[in-house]
Amino acid sequence: MKKINYMIVEDEIPAAEELKYILSRYDFLEICGMAHDGESGIDMIREKKPEAVFLDINMPVKNGMELAMDIKKFNNDIEIIFVTAYEEHALQAFEVDALDYILKPYDEKRIENTIHRLYNKILKDKDIEIPEVIDKLINQLDNKQNIIQKIPCEHHGKIILVPLKDIFYCYTENEKVYIKTYKDKYFTSYTMNKVQNKSNFFRAHRSYLVNLDNIKELYSWFNGTYKLVMKDNENSEVPISRNNVKRLKETLGL
């Protein structure tokens, strides 16, 4: 798998090491250098030619904003992610076309969102053939032997195959489709209709598909609707639209 080469330019060494440690958890990221001031930073960037730079704004000699402008003049394709303790620089950051803006102290969930954006910007189009190849293989095996029932999903830059029996429900969010297992959620390039056709999951709501084998209980909600409580680690509640209540009861023999 192709990796994203990145650099960290941060004058506070403990903060730089902490960020490096957090980013090391993503196996599609590879650090190619670390600098602790703007002057050495631009020299190293010219030498290493990273695809992304995590850049502190407040640094001596040459601050991060000046360095970002130099980077964009050198190579406009390098993605800039600012890291700073100060919110007031956010507008300036986006004026230099920064990909994102991370505040200190670091919030790992916030960084995960940034890395997802970085992955989509640099790698997603290049890796698009992988899920398509896997999808074809799965469909061939399903059609010929009916022994594989898995959904290909993206997770930290990898394609993993999640067995249908491990899926509790699927849902749409921001026009993307996610599947929920006992304790994790994954993005899939499948549409909701494709998941439904492949799995025979119950269409509880236009935004939800449910694995009926993983239901814990259901209860009446309001205006003729119901809610399902799943057996996952969160006891997730999934809405049943009024139009689907009758079909659900028939399916469950209620």
138 lies in some domain = no
| R_g of the chain, CA atoms, integer Å | 23
* 108 and 203 inside one domain: no
CB of 97 within 8 A of CB of 80? yes
What lies within 8 Å, CB to CB, of 16 at 6+ separation is 8, 10, 34, 36
26 shares a domain with 107: yes
Report how far apart, in Å, the C-alpha atoms of 199 and of each of 54, 59, 118 are.
41, 54, 31
Residue 51 structural domain: 4-122
**pTM higher than the cut 0.75:** no
Do both 182 and 75 map to the same domain? Answer: no
Residue 114 has pLDDT above 60, yes or no: yes
Strand partners, 81: 54, 100
Inside any domain, residue 13: yes
For 142-162, what is the mean pLDDT?
70
CB pairs under 8 A, 24+ apart, for 116-124? 118/4, 118/52, 118/79, 118/81, 119/4, 119/28, 119/157, 121/79, 122/4, 122/51, 122/52, 122/79, 123/2, 123/4, 123/28, 123/157
Query: Residue 220 in 3-state DSSP?
Result: strand
Residue 166: which CATH number? 2.40.50.1020
Q: Is residue 134 part of a domain?
A: no
Domain count, the chain: 2
Q: Could you tell me the pLDDT band of residue 136, with boundaries at 50, 70 and 90?
A: low
Token pair for 3: 């990796």
Mean pLDDT, range 128-147, rounded to an integer: 51
103 Rama class: left (phi>0) / alpha (psi -120 to 50) / beta: beta
**Proportion of the chain above pLDDT 70, given as a percent:** 86
Mean pLDDT of the chain: 83
